[in-house]
Chains A and B, each alone.
Chain A
Amino acid sequence: MYCTVDKSHTSGAPATQARNAKDDMVDDEEWKNLGVGLPSGVTMREKKSGALSRMQKLKKRLSHSFGRLTVSKEDPEDHVSGKLPYNGYSDEFLDRLEPNGNIPEGKADLKYTDWNTVRGHNNRVVKRQLSVSSDSKLLDDDIREEARVILRPRKPPRPKSEVLLNNPGSEHRRTKRFSAFGGDSPFGKSEAYIKLEQLGEGSYATVYKGYSNLKNQVVALKEIRLQEEEGAPFTAIREASLLKELKHANIVTLHDIVHTRETLTFVFEYVVLGTPGEEDWPGVTTLPGYKPHKLGQYRPRKLGLYWPRLHDVVQGEAMATALLQLDPAHRLGADDAMCHPYFNGLPKKLLELPDDVSIFSVEGVHLYPEHYTAIK
């Protein structure tokens, strides 16, 4: 008991000082907001105090109000929940504002309204002391630690499916439903990715080539450095939430997000046609920006490795590869493309169609609009 009282005095005083300091800070801001157009010092002062009290009203700890609710409504319920063990922290979880004999209901109300009276001040110190014990414990712990202590995922984590790892085709849909947080989800963990060499650097992020142990494929890791005092930058938050929604063949796919204390890493699909060389791009070495030591040497890979859906279509990969050749001599022309086995399924009539007749005049040919259902 003595111990906690001491704690309250040591921790309570600086806390109130800090509060005053912050009030002053806001004070200054309000001054600035008021601008220079005010005529006399008197009105300025009045306005200032009005703004100040408004700010002060805003700056409140809702646990007061929550506490009052508890007093009036939840007493029996809380009694029950207090007995239930929540990760073994049942006592820690109880609201310290509960009337357990220390703070009668009337006083709690009084403290809330008479913020500046001596009695209110004392009570606030008492309250502070009580909540400090739970706050300080969490301050130095890691986020998962905090999550385990204060919060507890209500649902048991969804069963980790072994199928997931062996079935890359259906993965997109499944990763959506997985929460990266907690549970057994293999996603969202930095151990799953091996960082290889650096590919490039921007103003707020660095991109590395990486290897995913989950999918056994090369990925691009975009590592965003987090600023200690700002949290995640809004650009990164927007990028992540937008890319989460966008699944389209022409938009680079965001596979996973790894959020650690210092960095936020986006795992992208690694799009590669290989580093161009003299044999597939004659004259590339003489271009001013061509610096092999910076670009790195990558061998071109089969397209089907990056776009597995190409395998689903008969001759899809062969067709796409033939069309994506840089050298026109090796590239598939339009006429040859029509004769490619890829189009074997089409009605033969199409090939003999005169130039001025629409292909939609042929029976069985329709244009399907790309709709949102097409975006997985």
Chain B
Amino acid sequence: SLLEDPPALQPLEVTEPTAEELSLLQDYGRDNLDYLFYREKRVAWPKPDYMSKQPFITKQMRTILIGWLIDVSVEYELDEQIVFVAVNLIDRFLCVMSVVREKFQLVGAAALMLAVKLETSVKISPQNWATLTGDGFTARQMIKMEKLIMSVLNFDLRSPTVICFIQQICTKFKFPNDHSAISMYIV
């Protein structure tokens, strides 16, 4: 059920977890993995075919949007986890709402902004995000869309991503680093 995102994602660059992260994962590994599986069942996953019900946007547009999100995250040296969270937010948002083509990038940018706020302490202002969209949108629109995404998803923003599972499982079974690197690449 994790791989329900319709089109394939582009491969991401791989970073190894630090020693500190590893020890944390080992100490709480069992609980963490349990919790991930529990959350996986609870979260409302996007339906695989939701795009067919979208009147204005297509899978190809989603691919372009995600490509752009990855470019942005690489530029800002963001964790790959963030893109996954953002894509999850976008997919779940699109399951409920129809979006016009012109606003699709706004949805993507706002989702990434939200994901950054959720996962990191990096501060990127809405004005900066608006600039990143080629000034297609204003900072106010970014804030409004962020608010809309939050209320549509009913503040259930945290959902486990593939990355979480890979990290947990690889540490639990003590896979060597190249295994996790390969699985990250496959994802």
On A, residues with C-beta under 8 Å from B are 15, 18-19, 22, 25-26, 54-55, 57-63, 65-67, 69-70, 73-74, 81, 84, 86, 93, 95-96, 131, 134-135, 138-139, 143, 146-147, 150-155, 176, 178-181, 188, 229-232, 234, 237-238, 240-242, 244-245, 257, 259, 372
Q: How far is the CA of A369 from the CA of B143 in the complex (A)?
A: 44
Q: How far is the CA of A164 from the CA of B71 in the complex (A)?
A: 46
Q: How far is the CA of A19 from the CA of B136 in the complex (A)?
A: 10
Query: How far in angstroms is the closest Cβ of chain A from B140?
Result: 7
A230: contacting residue among B98, B100, B126, CB under 8 A: B126
CB-nearest residue of chain B relative to A242? B158
For residue B91, CB closer than 8 A to chain A, the reply is no
Q: How far is the CA of A146 from the CA of B113 in the complex (A)?
A: 19
Query: How far in angstroms is the closest Cβ of chain B from A99?
Result: 14
Q: How far is the CA of A25 from the CA of B108 in the complex (A)?
A: 23
Residues in chain B near residue A96, CB distance under 8 A: 102
Residues in chain B near residue A60, CB distance under 8 A: 68, 133-134
B101–A63 touching, CB < 8 Å = yes
Q: How far is the CA of A54 from the CA of B71 in the complex (A)?
A: 10
A180–B151 touching, CB < 8 Å = yes
Q: How far is the CA of A66 from the CA of B138 in the complex (A)?
A: 20
Interface centre among A143, A146, A241 (most CB of B within 10 A): A241
Residues in chain B near residue A19, CB distance under 8 A: 134-135
Known A63-B136, A70-B101; further 7 A-B contacts with Cβ < 8 A: A61-B136, A66-B101, A134-B102, A135-B141, A139-B138, A151-B148, A230-B125
Residues in chain B near residue A15, CB distance under 8 A: 135
Q: Which of B90-129 contact A (CB under 8 A)?
A: 96-105, 108, 113-114, 117-118, 121, 125-127
Residues in chain A near residue B57, CB distance under 8 A: 66
B97: contacting residue among A57, A152, A245, CB under 8 A: A152
A66–B104 touching, CB < 8 Å = yes
Q: How far is the CA of A84 from the CA of B101 in the complex (A)?
A: 16
B104–A229 touching, CB < 8 Å = no
A131: contacting residue among B53, B102, B117, CB under 8 A: B102
A234–B117 touching, CB < 8 Å = yes
B96–A155 touching, CB < 8 Å = yes
A257–B58 touching, CB < 8 Å = no
For residue B157, CB closer than 8 A to chain A, the reply is yes
B127–A229 touching, CB < 8 Å = yes
B135–A231 touching, CB < 8 Å = no
Residues in chain B near residue A237, CB distance under 8 A: 114, 117-118, 150, 157
Residues in chain B near residue A240, CB distance under 8 A: 150, 155, 157
B151–A151 touching, CB < 8 Å = no
Q: How far is the CA of A244 from the CA of B101 in the complex (A)?
A: 32
Query: How far in angstroms is the closest Cβ of chain A from B62?
Result: 10
A241–B131 touching, CB < 8 Å = no
For residue B60, CB closer than 8 A to chain A, the reply is yes
Query: How far in angstroms is the closest Cβ of chain B from A67?
Result: 8
Q: How far is the CA of A259 from the CA of B145 in the complex (A)?
A: 13
Residues in chain B near residue A146, CB distance under 8 A: 144, 148
CB-nearest residue of chain B relative to A57? B71
Chain A proximity mask over B129-173: 1 for CB below 8 Å, otherwise 0? 001111111111111101110111111111000000000000000
B133–A61 touching, CB < 8 Å = yes
For residue B35, CB closer than 8 A to chain A, the reply is yes
Also in contact, A181 and B138, with CB within 8 A (given A65-B64, A69-B61, A237-B157): no
B60: contacting residue among A69, A81, A259, CB under 8 A: A69
For residue B55, CB closer than 8 A to chain A, the reply is yes
Interface centre among A62, A93, A138, A232 (most CB of B within 10 A): A62
Residues in chain B near residue A241, CB distance under 8 A: 118, 155-158
B140: contacting residue among A65, A139, A147, A178, CB under 8 A: A139
CB-nearest residue of chain A relative to B108? A62
Q: How far is the CA of A167 from the CA of B76 in the complex (A)?
A: 49
Query: How far in angstroms is the closest Cβ of chain B from A139?
Result: 7
For residue B39, CB closer than 8 A to chain A, the reply is yes
| 7 sample A-B contacts, Cβ–Cβ < 8 Å, listed by A number | A22-B131, A57-B71, A95-B102, A139-B138, A180-B155, A232-B146, A234-B118
